[in-house]
Amino acid sequence: MFSHRVVIAAALAGLFALPALPAQAQTSLGGKVAGVCMLSRDQVLAQSKVGQAASERMQQLAQQAGAAVKKARDPLQSDIQQFQQQAQSMQPQQREEKQKQLQQRMAQVQQEAQEYDQRLRITRAQAMSRIGNEIGPLLSGIYKRQDCGVLLDRDSVLGGNEANDLTDDVVKALDAKMSTISFSLAPLPKQNGK
């Protein structure tokens, strides 16, 4: 026999695995099914104040990362154009040396962009984990009050009775508990030998 904690843990395991999607119209179909409840994890993030704050902060961090990469990429692009214009007038050895330098700089810029991307992914996962940890006890309480026996992902169900949907209750409870979140860009994980 599964306990409600196992069902909730399973529901939360993938709670923030997907980005928030636009709200879908939930149509009430059929009667309320006792013990069967639904939750839209995407809508919890999209509608809750803390989810919106996390999304805004992630956008800020992504813009900052993009600006940093652009700052390194723009002078390189200019140098590549200048090299292309002057390549024919250069000595072969000088041309090869300059081309090698530009390729090294290009590799560095690409590596920097990849590192920012990885750091943004880590940051997002950490923020969503923090929010998920706050949702767990709230969802558990709502799950018990609604006398749920099974919790389904609403976004995977073709239809159902809105009376079985816990999403709005979870959003209200989460908004009452926390309305914002602050975090910085996470560092890359340390690798062996570094």
Specify whether the CB–CB gap between 144 and 4 falls below 8 A: yes
Per-residue pLDDT of the chain (194 residues; tens, 9 = 90+): 334 343 344 444 444 443 443 444 445 566 678 889 999 999 999 999 999 999 999 999 999 999 999 999 999 999 999 999 998 999 999 999 999 999 999 999 999 999 999 999 999 999 999 999 999 999 999 999 999 999 999 988 877 778 889 999 999 999 999 999 999 999 999 877 55
Reading the block at residue 1, the tokens are 């026999």
Boundaries of domain holding 90? 4-15+32-177
Tell me whether residue 187 is in a domain: no
Structure tokens at 71: 């700052």
The helix (run of H) or strand (run of E) holding residue 39 is strand 36-39
The encoded tokens of residue 45 equal 């993030």
Query: What is the model's pTM?
Result: 0.76
Q: How many domains is the chain built from?
A: 1
Positive or negative, the CA dihedral 37, 52, 61, 77 is positive
Three-state SS string over 48-71 comes to CHHHHHHHHHHHHHHHHHHHHHHH
Structural domain includes residue 142 = yes
